[in-house]
Amino acid sequence: MDFALSEQEKELFKRAKEFTREHITPKAHELEKRNEFPKEVVQKAYEAGLMNLHIPKEAGGPGLSLLAETLVSEATGYGCAGMATSIMCNNLAFAPLVIGATIEQLKEYVEPLITGKDAKFGAFCLTERKAGSDAAAVATRAERDGDEYVINGVKCWITSAPVASLFTVFASTQPELKHKGLSVFMVPKSKAVKIGVIENKVGQLNSIQSEVIFDDVRVPKECLVGKEGEGFKIAMKTLDKTRAGIAAIATGVAQRALDEAGKFANVRHQFGQPIGRFQGIGFKLADMGARTEAARLLTRQAAWLADRDLPNSKVSSFAKFFASDAAMQNAIEAVQIMGGYGYIKEYPAEKLMRDAKLLQIYEGTNEVQRLVAGNAILKESVNLDTGYHVKYDGRDAPII
């Protein structure tokens, strides 16, 4: 069993860490005060080759692996989860297109956004006020009118929408079929695409989310990705892949919380010794470290499976909920270990705690991830041979 990264992956991880140390970590606190899209930092990430890694070479991209993407997300998440989200937003926006679009579509609609001098952005438009975890409840409609589709509806919580040039929109073409009537479209920015409410969040202030209003937006029929009715399948395949990216950001946050707590525990003295020498603190640090390493391994396993087109829905759900829970637990423990210092904004612990919470919510709540994983385990258990064959009917006891 080989857990080693390739030389190319090691170099990318090192480059992403160096970028984070130079451009993200020192600026995260000050940029957070602006509560806006960190355009300058994201532009530098684009110039450094840390964006759009999954776009195939045929469409102008580097054609790197999902594992490579998670290395960048972990490194940048260490510095600031909000900026990491802003940097990786195109991964989510363009993933349905990589999955379902033709190379010709990618060359026409995506390649111009990833090969120019300036960074340009996509926005993944699935969530609505009444359709979050329940994708079948999407109310946005796309009606065929000759050689065009007319799209109407309102999406919410759409990352990078105010700066996006291309919107990947999930809309119902046959509402009576519910999730089987969902389709996906590439929608270029136009006057008919309006930005609504910009969300005022508790954490991840270095990313931006807003409503997107589609008001009689007309797109040519060539903007349909795949076939009508394939939107739900494409969405699920997309999330199976991109959950690893969220888990990677969470792993970065968990590692940063551990490092900050460990550093503090070495320099803070009480009762004549560093507080890290006290067993209660040492136990906390050990648990934080174990959670971080486990999150990292689950994340890389999920990416490894996806890169080989192996079933990864269960493991990607494991990775997402475990890593984001680890990030939240580690951040809370870091605040506790640092005491009053952890609860003031001059130090990073409180920001880690605020940022980590959103990781448990977006791109599929952790409750939904547990539901996905639990259902997968039930399916696997149906025909499982455990070595005995006694019915669990309330009368017979299992033979052990």
Whether the CB-CB separation of 49 and 69 falls below 8 Å is answered with no
Could you confirm whether 363 is annotated as catalytic?
Answer: yes
CA triple 164-169-171, angle to 5 deg:
155
CA distances from 120 to 34, 112, 199, 318, 339 (A): 21, 9, 21, 32, 42
H or E element in which residue 277 lies = none
Q: Are 171 and 150 in contact (CB under 8 A)?
A: no
Q: Which tokens is 199 given?
A: 């969300």
Catalytic residue among 9, 104, 363, 380: 363
DSSP 8-state class, residue 195: E
Q: Are 356 and 324 in contact (CB under 8 A)?
A: yes
DSSP secondary structure string, 21-63?
A: IIIITTTHHHHHTT-S--HHHHHHHHHTT-S-TTS-GGGTS--
Q: Which are the catalytic amino acids?
A: 363
